[in-house]
Amino acid sequence: MTTPTATLLISCPDQQGLVAKFANFIYANGGNIIHADQHTDLAAGLFLTRLEWQLTGFNLPREFIAPAFNAIAQPLNAKWELHFSDTVPRIAIWVSKQDHCLFDLIWRHRAKEFTAEIPLIISNHLQLQEVAEQFGIDYHHIPINKDHKLEQEAKQLELLHQYKIDVVVLAKYMQILSADFIAKFPQVINIHHSFLPAFVGANPYHKAFERGVKIIGATAHYVTSDLDAGPIIEQDVVRVSHRDEVEDLIRKGKDLERVVLARAVRSHLQNRVLVYGNRTVVFE
């Protein structure tokens, strides 16, 4: 598990021979595939695949893998990403006042469930600064109000740049990012505290209580400019009953939010999520 690997995530118009072509590229260069999975979206006419192989024994030097693969990918009109397992992604966690997802992500990071670095926490409040200090993570307080939102987003972007952040995790960050922000920094994962598309927007647990649902959920998704409408990575649910007040839904929901967000972040960090259209393939 400790030897470095390369991973290709590829999507291209479906045609004959794609599995063989991609597998041959790796085999011909002496690579040992340790994970290969593919999916064909028949309606979209798309072939989607994930290939991971060991770099030890692979005859192509790292810097030539991308250009060499491009020669194969271009005639196929393929979109692709190449990742190396020893390039550790850098996460910024954004929070507001609630600490459960933050604590959980930090705990999982310490437990080595995530291969990542977490050098930065951004918050529009001060409450969780103490937690950041406790675990030795830089904490930047950037309060948000509608009058200076764009200005503050510029500061946030500057921090992401400065800390060389690869992915932002909104761990109960109760603010909406502007379309402009998302255009500039599209790698953002959010946890929404409902079973989307039910209860978009604010106060989903209150809405769930009012509607009298018997099950509540949580959804992790990539953020797009449409509120709570981005590609879904993971969802889960828990049963509730008439005995559960709104505060019980909130409490039960926290357990969901933690685990759903963690699974989504882990899949993302392992380069298992391929987005196309407004959908995801999560290769397991």
92 vs 281, beta carbon nearer a second copy:
281
16 is a site residue for a second copy (CB under 8 A): yes
Q: Which two tokens stand for residue 73?
A: 């990918």
Q: Tell me how far, at minimum, the Cβ of 80 lies from a second copy, in Å.
A: 17
228 in active site: yes
What is the footprint of a second copy within residues 32-91 (CB under 8 A)?
Answer: 32-34, 36-43
Q: Which is nearer to a second copy, 89 or 230 (CB)?
A: 230
Which residue carries 């690997």 as its tokens? Answer: 5
Q: How far is the CB of 25 from a second copy (least distance, A)?
A: 9
> Which listed residue (3, 4, 107, 127) binds a second copy by CB under 8 A?
107
249 SS3 class: helix
Are the CB atoms for 132 and 56 separated by under 8 Å? no
The nearest distance, CB 125 to a second copy, in angstroms, is: 17
Which positions ≥6 away from 230 have C-beta within 8 Å? 190, 221, 222, 223, 224, 278
Instruction: Write down the catalytic residue from 14, 180, 228, 248.
Output: 228
Q: x/- string (CB under 8 A) for a second copy, residues 188-207?
A: -------xxxxx--------
| Nearer residue to a second copy within complex by CB, 99 or 166 | 99
Amino acid at 160: L
Angle in degrees, CA 19, 22, 26, rounded to 5: 130
CA distance 18 to 41: 14
Shorter beta-carbon distance to a second copy: residue 169 or 196? 196
Nearest-CA neighbor of 50 among 18, 74, 88, 28? Answer: 18
Q: If we measure between CA atoms, which residue out of 57, 69, 64, 75 comes closest to residue 9? A: 69
Whose Cβ is closer to a second copy: residue 16's or residue 145's? 16
Residue 188 burial (C-beta neighbours within 10 Å; 0-12, 13-18, 19+): buried
Touching a second copy, residues 135-194 (CB under 8 A): none
The contact set with a second copy (CB under 8 A) reads 16-21, 23-24, 26-28, 30-34, 36-43, 99-100, 103, 107, 111, 113, 134, 195-199, 210-215, 217, 231-237, 239, 241-243, 245, 251, 254-255, 259, 262, 278-282, 284
The residues carrying an active-site annotation are: 228
